[in-house]
């Protein structure tokens, strides 16, 4: 399901990139306004300037987003980082995974897969953290950090390639190691070192490729921080607190990249549990 939603999201991203032409009046471009508002303005030729002004103002208002999640959840933190990079407000709704709230019928009616996060933008509901992240970065591309390129086909292709590499090459072994070395001890379970020993070489193979790439590039997709780098953060953060950190630190370029992405203020805030509960302690 995850790869299908990411593919749909990428298709949406390309369509948005090639379909909108900049509007030169009043310093507003199509990327600054909600899609539906933009199309509505095109039908109102006699008042297009005022219509664009209204859309631009609307784009910077509180979006009214809702995020069902758990502040210790890696996938929730991925979406949180995007929201903070974009300086967007949202209503955090806590789904306590340790209490099993994700398995309750009331939450399963929201996401039948019983997973967090779930993101709501008015009548739109999305699951899968990577798809949610790409949606936010695309719809709110004029806000904050530019996490996804919308202008160059080549850059779109390169960024998407590295996002897929994270999903299909880095994430599988990294998630297994995170579970064994970071999560299991937190819940009173011992790591299965047979699994750890079988999995570490798989992650090392990926990191060897990253090392060669990062010798010539500040970040994975380009010399700028993008979604491709952001997607790696949750697992890296957990693994750097385990013996597996040596896999990153022993590769100079990877180690430099890890230091750069984990130092971002948006990521630090995403890891701050107090920021979640302090914003609005809203239990599910």
Q: What is the CATH number of the domain that holds 124?
A: 3.40.30.10
Residues 252, 197 share a domain: yes
What b/e sequence results for 223-257 when a residue is b if at least 16 CB atoms lie within 10 Å of its CB, and e otherwise?
A: eebbbbbbbbbbbbbbbbebebeebbeebebbbeb
pLDDT tens for each residue of 177-236: 999 999 999 989 999 999 999 999 999 999 999 999 999 999 999 999 999 999 999 999
Residue 284, in any domain of the structure: no
Give CA–CA dist 80/271, Å, rounded: 9
Looking at the fold, whether 29 and 72 belong to one and the same domain comes out as: no
| Domain co-membership, 166 together with 236 | yes
Same domain membership, residue 257 and residue 180 = yes
Give first-to-last CA distance, the chain, whole Å. 25
Q: Do 95 and 284 meet the contact criterion of CB atoms below 8 Å apart? A: yes
- Listed residue (243, 230, 240, 236) closest to 206, CA to CA: 236
pLDDT in tens, 117-174: 999 999 999 999 999 999 999 999 989 999 999 889 999 999 999 999 999 999 999 9
pTM, 2 dp: 0.80
Residues 46, 72, single domain; the answer is no
Give the largest CA-CA distance in the chain. Answer: 70
CA distances from 97 to 68, 104, 115, 117 (A): 11, 11, 9, 11
pLDDT recorded at residue 150 = 84
Instruction: Reply yes or no on whether the pLDDT at 274 is more than 90.
Output: yes
- Segments forming the whole domain that contains residue 186: 153-268
Instruction: Tell me the C-alpha distance between 26 and 275, whole Å.
Output: 37
**Does residue 84 have a pLDDT over 60?**
yes
Separation between Cα atoms, residue 194 and residue 176, nearest integer Å: 12
CATH number of the domain that residue 209 is part of: 1.20.1050.10
Q: 179 and 133 in one domain?
A: no
Say if residue 53 is in the same domain as residue 71: no
Query: What's the total number of domains in the chain?
Result: 3
Q: Say if CB 276 and CB 217 are below 8 A apart.
A: no
Shared domain check, 115 and 40 = no
- Domain shared by 73 and 109, yes or no: yes
68 DSSP assignment: E
Gyration radius (Cα) of the chain, Å: 20
The encoded tokens of residue 234 equal 């949750």
Q: Is the Cβ–Cβ distance between 161 and 104 less than 8 Å? A: no
**Same domain, yes or no: 275 and 262:** no
**Are 143 and 91 within one domain?**
yes
* Residue where the block lists tokens 């080549």: 154
* Sign of the alpha-carbon dihedral angle for 147, 152, 154, 160: positive
């Amino acid at each position: 399901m995850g790869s299908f939603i990411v593919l749909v999201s990428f298709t949406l991203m390309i369509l948005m990139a090639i379909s909108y032409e900049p509007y030169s009046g009043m310093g507003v471009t199509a990327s600054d306004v909600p899609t539906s508002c933009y199309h509505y303005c095109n039908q109102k030729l006699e008042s297009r300037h005022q219509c664009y002004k209204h859309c631009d103002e609307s784009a910077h208002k509180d979006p009214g987003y809702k995020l069902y999640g758990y502040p210790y959840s890696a996938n929730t933190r991925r979406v949180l980082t995007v929201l903070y990079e974009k300086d967007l407000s949202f209503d955090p709704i806590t789904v306590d995974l340790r209490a099993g709230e994700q398995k309750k019928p009331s939450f399963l009616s929201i996401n039948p897969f019983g997973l967090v996060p779930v993101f709501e933008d008015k009548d739109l509901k999305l699951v899968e953290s990577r798809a949610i992240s790409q949606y936010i970065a695309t719809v709110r591309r004029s806000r904050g950090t530019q996490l996804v390129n919308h202008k160059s086909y080549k850059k779109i292709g390169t960024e998407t390639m590295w996002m897929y590499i994270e999903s299909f090459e880095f994430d599988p072994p990294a998630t297994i190691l995170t579970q064994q070395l970071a999560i299991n001890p937190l819940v009173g379970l011992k790591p299965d070192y047979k699994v750890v020993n079988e999995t570490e070489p798989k992650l090392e193979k990926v990191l060897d490729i990253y090392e060669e790439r990062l010798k010539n590039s500040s970040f994975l997709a380009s010399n700028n921080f993008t979604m491709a780098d952001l997607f790696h953060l949750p697992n890296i953060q957990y693994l750097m607190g385990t013996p597996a950190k040596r896999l990153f630190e022993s590769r100079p370029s990877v180690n430099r990249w890890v230091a750069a992405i984990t130092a971002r203020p948006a990521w630090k805030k995403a890891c701050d549990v107090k920021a979640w509960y302090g914003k609005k302690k809203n239990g599910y």
